[in-house]
Amino acid sequence: MIYISTAVRAIAIVLVSVHSIACQSLEPAHSDDPIVGIYYLAKVDGSAVPADVDHDGVTLHVRSGMMIISEDGTCFSRTRFVDPGGTEQVRENDARYRVEESRLIMNWEGAGVTTGVIDDTSLTMNNHGIMFEYRR
């Protein structure tokens, strides 16, 4: 049972993977930047949401998710999922970001850095081996 609890905690961190101390070198996108807006989680590991995702031998049911990219250089993530015990959980996380060409580099509070590929209609990121695809 300890293994499952540890694995569930690890998956929850992976699902949100969105916390780390922001670096002062991060520059916000300009207000006219087309990436600013709300993106909704469409697929996890290639499966349409809602979907089951396996990580380290534990399956979670991802119900929904969203990412808000603001013009001030911050972003916000919310993911709703059901853990193996059947309990619905919501994880919300904040980050600072910078844009380098088509890459969105997110520095999450308490959870490191995630890099995604972004354009004006979609955001895709590999978060600890799990692919998240967001759409506007």
Q: Is the dihedral of CA 57, 21, 96, 82 positive or negative?
A: positive
Model confidence pLDDT, tens digit, residues 8-44 = 444 444 444 433 333 333 444 445 778 899 999 999 9
pTM score:
0.75
- For 52-94, what is each residue's pLDDT tens digit? 998 888 899 999 999 999 999 999 999 999 999 999 999 999 9
For residues 23, 68, 43, 122, the Cα torsion angle rounded to the nearest 10 degrees is: -90
Q: Which domains does the chain have, with CATH numbers?
A: 2-135 (2.40.128.280)
